[in-house]
């Protein structure tokens, strides 16, 4: 079942059309990566899902129920981590989670059990310090714990890793993977390598629409170029080879790339290298990266 569905959603700010006939669905128990350039409309989309912004046309459903602007009925299914989470800095993490639990109407026992469980999950179980002493990574981890407090079916994270160093990013990604069994996750990011590490499905928002969508594998397969590159030991061999195969692009004095090269082209190149006893360092098929796909789609 799809936990989230957007059907033909459009949104304007004044005369500026930000979201234009946007449709996509997020299946349960997946991690859904939402990519887009700065200003593509990712935060706007998330706020519309949360009913914090009105939509001009279309429909958004969370857990099969229609989202209405200004009402928070469907938010019972959602945990939200904004890009810059705000806390009461003078509290400890446990005090903060207790307060959030009380506000959402959880009972005392539930609050204690769940808070203890979640602080352990995000690696803050031993932290008795006040939140104001926390690093950005720790604050982001506490933000996830808070967003998961009421066991949401859908966890929405707005750029959860963007401001973090590689180790902080890894912590967050590991947490997202560990909660996926119970919660569907949608997260936006500019860090495409993060998407490649944890996402099952991806969608690229461009000009207010989904320009690319599917499982990570499908998306890569769709744009798979069968190109390959050859790195030579000697500049002179590289030049000889390039003269014989003018279809190769010279990347530098020892490296050639054949962007559209097929498997047959690769075999021909290997035969030529063997027949002429050319020393090479490597011959390698190029795997499409999400970064390349992104650039390919955005520049169209």
Ligand X SMILES: Nc1ncnc2c1ncn2[C@@H]1O[C@H](COP(=O)(O)OP(=O)(O)OP(=O)(O)O)[C@@H](O)[C@H]1O
Beta-carbon neighbour count of residue 120 at 10 Å?
12
Min separation Cβ 300 and ligand X, Å = 18
Whose Cβ is closer to ligand X: residue 37's or residue 265's?
Answer: 37
Min separation Cβ 297 and ligand X, Å = 15
- What length is written for the chain? 300
Helix/strand/coil (H, E, C) string of 36-86? ECCCCCHHHHHHHHCCCCCCCEEEEEECCEECCCCCCCHHHHEEEECCCCC
Min separation Cβ 195 and ligand X, Å = 14
**Which residue, 22, 26, 62, is CA-closest to 45?**
22
Whose Cβ is closer to ligand X: residue 19's or residue 154's?
Answer: 19
Angstrom distance (rounded) from CA 78 to CA 145: 13
Whose Cβ is closer to ligand X: residue 92's or residue 162's?
Answer: 162
| Cβ atoms 232, 223 nearer than 8 A | no
Whose Cβ is closer to ligand X: residue 97's or residue 155's?
Answer: 155
Q: Residue 281: CA atoms inside 13 Å, Cβ hemisphere, count?
A: 10
Whose Cβ is closer to ligand X: residue 57's or residue 271's?
Answer: 57
Whose Cβ is closer to ligand X: residue 38's or residue 277's?
Answer: 38
Min separation Cβ 203 and ligand X, Å = 12
Angstrom distance (rounded) from CA 115 to CA 110: 8
Residue numbers of the site for ligand X (CB under 6 A)?
Answer: 13, 18, 36, 38-44
Min separation Cβ 13 and ligand X, Å = 3
Min separation Cβ 43 and ligand X, Å = 3
Tokens of 178: 């560990």
């Amino acid at each position: 079942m799809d936990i989230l569905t957007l059907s033909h959603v459009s949104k304007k700010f004044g005369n500026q059309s930000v979201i234009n006939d946007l449709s996509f669905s997020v299946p349960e128990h997946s991690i859904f990566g939402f990519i887009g350039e700065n200003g593509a409309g990712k935060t706007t989309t998330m706020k519309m899902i949360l009913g914090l912004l009105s939509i001009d046309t279309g429909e958004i459903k969370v857990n099969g129920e229609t989202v209405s602007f200004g009402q928070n009925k469907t938010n019972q299914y959602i945990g939200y981590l904004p890009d810059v989470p705000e806390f009461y800095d003078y509290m400890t993490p446990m005090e903060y989670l207790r307060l959030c639990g009380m506000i959402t109407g959880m009972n005392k026992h539930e609050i204690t059990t769940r808070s203890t469980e979640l602080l352990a999950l995000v690696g803050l179980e031993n932290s008795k310090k006040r939140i104001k002493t926390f690093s950005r990574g720790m604050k982001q981890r506490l933000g996830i714990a808070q967003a998961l407090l009421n066991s949401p079916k859908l966890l929405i994270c707005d750029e959860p890793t963007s401001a973090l160093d590689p180790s902080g990013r890894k912590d967050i990604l590991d947490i997202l993977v560990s909660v996926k069994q119970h919660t569907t996750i949608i997260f936006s990011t500019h860090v495409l390598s993060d998407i490649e590490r944890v996402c099952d499905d991806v969608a690229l928002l461009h000009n207010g629409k989904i320009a690319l969508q599917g499982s990570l594998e499908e998306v890569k397969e769709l744009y798979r170029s069968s190109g390959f590159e050859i790195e030579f030991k000697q500049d002179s061999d590289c030049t000889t080879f390039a003269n014989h195969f003018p279809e190769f692009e010279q990347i530098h004095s020892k490296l050639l790339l054949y962007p559209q090269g097929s498997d047959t082209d690769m075999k021909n190149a290997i035969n030529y290298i063997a027949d002429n006893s050319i020393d090479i360092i490597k011959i390698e098929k190029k795997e499409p990266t999400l970064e390349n796909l992104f650039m390919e789609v955005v520049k169209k």
